[in-house]
Amino acid sequence: MQGSLWEELQRNDDSQSGSEFDLSELESLFPAALPKSDDSSKSDSRRKSLGSKPEKVHLIELRRANNTEIMLTKVKMPLPELVSAALALDQSTLDVDQVENLIKFCPTKEEMELLKNYTGDKENLGKCEKFFLELMKVPRMESKLRVFSFKIQFGSQVADLRKNLNTIDSSCNEIRSSLKLKEIMKKILLLGNTLNQGTARGAAVGFRLDSLLKLTDTRATNNKMTLMHYLCKVLAVKSPQLLNFYEDLVSLEATSKIQLKMLAEEMQAVSKGLEKVQLEYDASERDGPVSEIFREKLKEFTDNAGADVQSLSSLFSEVGKKADALIKYFGEDPVRCPFEQVITTLLTFVTMFRKAHEENRKQAELDKKKAEKEAEAEKYKAQLAIKNESKPTNTSRQAKQSDKTRAASRRGKDIGVG
């Protein structure tokens, strides 16, 4: 500034001459007070002298890299051990969710190319990149992980399929062998023919299965009873042994929750899955030592799994034939009336039948109590009437007293005259 001390010092140009201050001493005593140098070489040398680590190199898209690293923190084991456990198909170390996550985070072809083209120090790569590189050491690692996932789930899938097929098989046998159900169907046919007597429908030899559900639609003239109630009422009187026919059909409700189409899809998925397992087993023969344990463990699995799938396929075929036979047993067309519809119709009929019978039972109890109450009232009324008849009234007592008084008066007069 003009006229200032600083201007005068500048003019004399001796402000920086012969500095009395030692820069090295200042740096050691007051490091925080010294400005940071813009010289990149000095900055780098200072960082290196302080032992700072070089920055990580990230080649994978940031969000995907972060998600991959989050997944790896849940596995909690070194990357080489993780890959070894997967190749050994070790279910005690990795569960199906962890394996599915590994599949999800396998490197894509583009990501593999990025990593292959990287020529820098691999130690400087991020955790995601190192994970991808570890997986890339094994040929078709994603395919092997899918095989592992299939193996883990195979046992439970086969068990569930077999259980559902056996349930359907049992239900078909129970329905076909139930004599009580057959009698119930016969009674319903007779009821329909009796109701339609004198018409073209009065001599039917059978009926569509969905007609069972229409028994609740026809109501009596008093609107208090349906045809289902009437059927249950007649059976309770004339054929009470048939009322529990549904106890023969123990597997009916469980079968109603199973879809044959879904079982067919699951069966196909298991068969196709095993084929892919075999393809990977054959391909891994050319992998060399890295896949030796994988092939050894997979061979043990495929030997048993093949027999399981063949047995399951035979059972599926047998049950399918029984399901079609059951549809035809009720005179229905398998194309128009699928197995699931037959089962659902029967289950609904059972529910409606039991409800109507229970309502009849409750109504009968109410009617019985009402009749008993009325009978009790009539009995009390009759007893009261009898009691009243045997007990003289006040009027009759007064008449008798008057008669006695008059008689006594007459006797007094007779004595006086004498």
pLDDT attached to residue 395: 57
Q: Which tokens belong to 347?
A: 């289950």
Whether 3 is in a domain gets the answer no
Residues 380 and 232 in one domain: yes
Do 328 and 351 fall into the same domain? no
Is there a single domain that holds both residue 213 and residue 349? yes
Which range is least confidently modeled, 98-112, 284-298, 390-404?
A: 390-404
Neighbouring-strand partners of residue 226: 219
Model confidence band, residue 41 (pLDDT cutoffs 50, 70, 90):
very low
| 343-372 tens-digit pLDDT | 999 999 999 999 999 999 999 898 888 888
Neighbours of 258 (CB within 10 A): 18
Domain contains 68: yes
Domain count, the chain: 3
In a shared domain, residues 99 and 221: no
Say if 201 falls within a structural domain.
yes
Residue located via tokens 């990230």: 58
State the average pLDDT over residues 245-261: 97
Q: Are residues 274 and 163 in the same domain?
A: yes
Report yes or no on 43 lying in a domain: no
- Say whether both 380 and 354 belong to one domain: yes
Answer whether residue 16 shows pLDDT above 80: no
pTM of the predicted protein model: 0.74
Domain that holds residue 320: 156-173+260-334
Residue 160 shares a structural domain with residue 292: yes
Least confident range from 49-63, 246-260, 298-312: namely 49-63
Q: How confident is the model at residue 382 (pLDDT cuts 50, 70, 90)?
A: confident
Question: Do 359 and 324 fall within a single domain?
Answer: no
From CA 276, how far away is CA 126, in angstroms rounded? 33
Among the listed residues 55, 59, 28, the one whose alpha carbon sits nearest the alpha carbon of residue 44: 55
Q: Is the pLDDT of residue 50 over 70?
A: no
> Does the residue 101 lie in any domain?
yes
CA-CA distances (angstroms) from residue 308 to 178, 312, 315, 341, 396? 32, 6, 11, 30, 103
Asked if 353 and 216 sit in the same domain, the reply is: yes
- The mean-pLDDT minimum among 62-66, 100-104, 105-109, 380-384 falls in 380-384
Distances (CA, A) of 206 to 20, 212, 360: 123, 12, 27
Domain ends where: 334, 354, 379?
Answer: 334
Same domain for 244 and 296: no
**What integer best gives the mean pLDDT of the chain?**
86
Q: 417 CB contacts (<8 Å, ≥6 apart)?
A: none
* Same domain flag for 160 and 189: no
Residues 243 and 375 in one domain: yes
Per the domain annotation, does 129 fall within a domain? yes
